[in-house]
């Protein structure tokens, strides 16, 4: 009995300590502090106001996610490093970290506890479901007017680049309750990557449809350009997925999103039809049709036989044995750099794939991927400070040495990039290569496209073989500075399709966050879905199991969830 009593006391003590850690230690600022700040603000406007230095120190208490792989030099800490020093010295913003938690589940559990106990620190960066919970419980500050007043021109450019979607994601009842992290639009777009040198060797045309891909795969497996270990189409490895979903909407590496889109299918997404009716894309007839096609390809030996069990599909691609894979814009450069070290003539090229009626359908990721939320108990100066911190990160990110102090230690860091950053950069690089513009034209310019000046300064030396009107090949690139090569190859080859070919249809998920029933049911439903789809494609189950999946999914909570999503639409 005594042990049980002691255990209860210990548990209560731990809970109280955790709740205390959640609670912001900052008391309300004195009226004079806010008034002093207002007085300075009244004399400034525009970006002068967005980057103002407070007349007195403003203390901001935060909760911080910390990656297990990121470290700081001895003597440095989460609230004592180059970033916090920079904010204090230049803006009189003092960051105090009330608590840290490991990135992922540990951090999310800590955030959930703070929301449940109504003990938010001044600011945190959180996933969408936690922003929604805090908003519904009335714990967030309405930052609408202060954001419009203090957000920098660069931040506003990023927000405006989404066509209003970024504001919509953080606005409820006409109140903006968070600063969103804005993702590049092309981050959710998948393209076909193919060995152009293999196509040229066998006199093959670039595939445009799924049938074309099958015909090319057939030739690759017959001719075996990489020997007996040739793989026509790489698939997801043991840590990968067959397709992206609404909770993890960035495109998959070696998954099959593009193949599904070519059949007008969008598994993993909630799709709203022309009558405003919501359905779950994984259950559609076109999804069934595509799974059946992939199963046929696998049975014929076109898709990697170790799909779903291989340790790394990227290593397989880098080994030179793969002819085709589906992936994001960055995969041909950043993702598979060793492919060129192993074979400098591996001419990977990226292309869209069309429907049989010549339409390019694109599955789009979430416009926003994270959210800086601020407690309703903050003072105006604390809200201003956190908006300024966001302005400074976007403007000054390139100034910091991240080799010993990773950027992940920036307090309440949310990445912001214009939705069209990759496409805009692509066209500016081409203009410089064509001689229409000079790299010097971009020097010192303040822009939301924060890497553009650096990119244009290296493009000519990185792509010496460029000729106007000629499609770039790997032989046109200089690999001496391999980092520059990877970035230029990703932008000029990997993002070429999305930068130069208008998509005929862009499909967004109706929601990118969980409903109430999902919190208890979704993990089991998704696990069931993933298992059945993988088994059908790899021949361990027949296509009839898809119909069984649909029935079970609906009866085990799916119908309830669908109605919840419909109610949100």
Q: pLDDT of 241-283, one tens digit each?
A: 999 999 888 888 899 999 999 999 999 999 999 999 999 999 9
d(CA 551, CA 542): 16
Instruction: Compute the mean pLDDT over every residue in the chain, rounded to the nearest whole number.
Output: 91
CA distance 72 to 95: 17
Distance CA 332, CA 313 (A): 13
Residues 6+ apart with CB under 8 A from 369: 180, 181, 182, 183, 415
Does domain 190-363+530-568 match CATH 3.20.20.140? no
Do the domains 42-185+368-409 and 190-363+530-568 sit in the same CATH topology, yes or no? yes
For the chain, domain boundaries: 42-185+368-409, 190-363+530-568
User: SS3 of 354, please?
Assistant: coil
Whole-angstrom Cα distance, residue 332 to residue 327?
Answer: 8
Instruction: Report how far apart, in Å, the C-alpha atoms of 232 and of each of 219, 260, 293, 392 are.
Output: 9, 18, 15, 47
pLDDT one-digit tens code per residue, 277-314: 999 999 999 999 999 999 999 999 999 999 999 999 99
pLDDT reported for residue 4: 41
Percent of the chain exceeding pLDDT 70 equals 92
**Would you say domain 42-185+368-409 falls under CATH 3.40.50.720?**
no
Top pLDDT among 310 and 401 is at: 310
- Please indicate whether residue 71 or residue 432 has the higher confidence score (pLDDT): 432
Q: How confident is the model at residue 519 (pLDDT cuts 50, 70, 90)?
A: confident
Q: What is the pTM assigned to this prediction?
A: 0.82
Residue 195 DSSP SS3: strand
Provide the sign of the torsion angle of the four alpha carbons 489, 493, 499, 504, taken in this order.
Answer: negative
Rounded Cα gap, residues 431 and 441, in angstroms:
12
What span, in angstroms and rounded, lies between the C-alpha atoms of 248 and 251?
8
Instruction: Please report, for residues 125, 159, 396, 446, the alpha-carbon distance to residue 181 in angstroms, rounded to integers and kept in the order given.
Output: 9, 9, 16, 20
Residue 21's pLDDT band, with cuts at 50, 70 and 90, is low
pLDDT in tens, 196-210: 999 999 999 999 999
> What's the CA gap between 141 and 376, in Å, rounded?
4
Structure tokens at 117: 């106990």
Please tell me the distance from the alpha carbon of residue 177 to that of residue 184, in angstroms, as a whole number: 22
Helix axes 105-116, 128-136, angle to 10 degrees: 0
Instruction: Tell me what pLDDT residue 510 has.
Output: 95
Separation between Cα atoms, residue 272 and residue 281, nearest integer Å: 9
Say whether 310 sits in a helix, a strand or coil. Answer: coil
Grouping H, G, I as helix, E, B as strand and the rest as coil, residue 505 is strand
Task: In whole angstroms, give the CA distance from residue 142 to residue 173.
Answer: 10
Distance CA 467, CA 488 (A): 15
Token pair 């969008």: residue? 266
Q: Per-residue confidence at 103, pLDDT binned at 50, 70, 90?
A: confident
Reduce the DSSP state of residue 294 to 3 states and report it: helix
For residues 91-115, give the mean pLDDT. Answer: 94
* Cα 463 from Cα 473, distance rounded (Å): 10
Q: What is the pLDDT of residue 40?
A: 55
Which residues fall within 8 angstroms of residue 53, CB to CB, at 6 or more apart?
90, 91, 92
The pLDDT, as a whole number, for residue 81 is 92
Task: Please tell me whether residue 524 adopts helix, strand or coil conformation.
Answer: helix
What confidence category does residue 2 fall into, taking pLDDT thresholds of 50, 70 and 90? very low
């Amino acid at each position: 009995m005594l042990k049980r009593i002691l255990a209860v006391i210990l548990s209560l003590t731990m809970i109280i300590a955790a709740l205390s850690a959640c609670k912001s230690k900052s008391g309300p600022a004195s009226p004079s502090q806010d008034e002093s700040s207002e007085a300075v603000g009244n004399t400034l406007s525009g970006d002068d106001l967005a980057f103002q230095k407070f007349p007195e120190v403003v203390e901001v208490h935060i909760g911080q996610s910390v990656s297990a792989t990121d470290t700081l030099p001895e003597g440095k800490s989460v609230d004592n490093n180059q970033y916090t020093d920079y904010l204090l010295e230049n803006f009189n913003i003092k960051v105090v970290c009330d608590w840290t938690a490991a990135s992922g589940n540990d951090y999310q559990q800590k955030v959930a506890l703070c929301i449940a106990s109504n003990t938010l620190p001044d600011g945190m960066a959180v996933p969408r479901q936690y922003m929604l919970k805090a908003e519904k419980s009335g714990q967030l500050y309405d930052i609408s007017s202060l954001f419009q007043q203090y957000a920098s021109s660069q931040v506003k450019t990023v927000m405006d680049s989404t066509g209003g979607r970024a504001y919509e994601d953080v606005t409820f009842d006409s109140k903006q309750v968070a600063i969103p992290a804005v993702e590049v639009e092309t981050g959710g777009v998948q393209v076909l990557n193919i060995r152009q040198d293999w196509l040229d060797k066998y006199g093959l045309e670039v595939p445009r449809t799924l049938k074309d891909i099958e015909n090319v795969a057939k030739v690759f497996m017959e001719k075996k350009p990489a020997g007996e270990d040739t793989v026509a189409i790489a698939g997801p490895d043991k840590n990968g997925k067959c397709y992206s979903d609404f909770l993890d909407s960035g495109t998959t590496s070696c998954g099959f999103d593009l193949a599904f889109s070519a059949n007008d299918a969008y598994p993993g997404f909630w799709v709203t039809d022309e009558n405003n009716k919501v359905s779950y894309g994984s259950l559609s007839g076109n999804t069934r049709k595509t799974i059946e096609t992939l199963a046929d390809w696998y049975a014929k030996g076109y898709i990697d036989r170790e799909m779903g069990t291989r340790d790394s599909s990227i290593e397989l691609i880098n080994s030179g044995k793969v002819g085709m894979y589906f992936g994001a814009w960055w995969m041909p450069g950043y993702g598979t750099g060793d492919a060129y070290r192993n074979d400098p003539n591996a001419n990977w090229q990226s292309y869209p794939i069309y429907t049989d009626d010549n339409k390019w359908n694109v599955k789009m990721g979430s416009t926003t991927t994270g959210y800086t939320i601020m407690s309703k108990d903050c003072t105006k100066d604390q809200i201003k400070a956190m908006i300024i911190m966001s302005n400074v990160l976007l403007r000054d990110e390139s100034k910091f040495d991240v080799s010993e102090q990773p950027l992940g230690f920036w307090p309440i860091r949310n990445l912001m990039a214009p939705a069209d950053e990759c496409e805009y950069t692509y066209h500016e690089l081409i203009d410089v290569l064509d001689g229409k513009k000079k790299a010097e034209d971009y020097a010192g310019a303040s822009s939301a496209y924060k890497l553009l000046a650096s990119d244009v300064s290296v493009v000519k030396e990185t792509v010496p073989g460029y000729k106007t009107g000629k499609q770039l090949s790997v032989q046109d690139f200089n690999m001496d500075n391999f980092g520059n090569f990877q970035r230029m190859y990703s932008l000029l080859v990997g993002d070429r399709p999305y930068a130069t070919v208008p998509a005929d249809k862009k499909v967004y998920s109706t929601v990118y966050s969980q409903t109430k029933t999902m919190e208890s049911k979704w993990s089991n439903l998704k696990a069931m879905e993933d298992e059945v789809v993988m088994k059908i494609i790899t021949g361990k189950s027949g296509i009839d199991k898809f119909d069984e999946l649909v029935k079970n999914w609906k009866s085990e909570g799916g119908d309830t969830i669908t109605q919840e999503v419909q109610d949100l639409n």
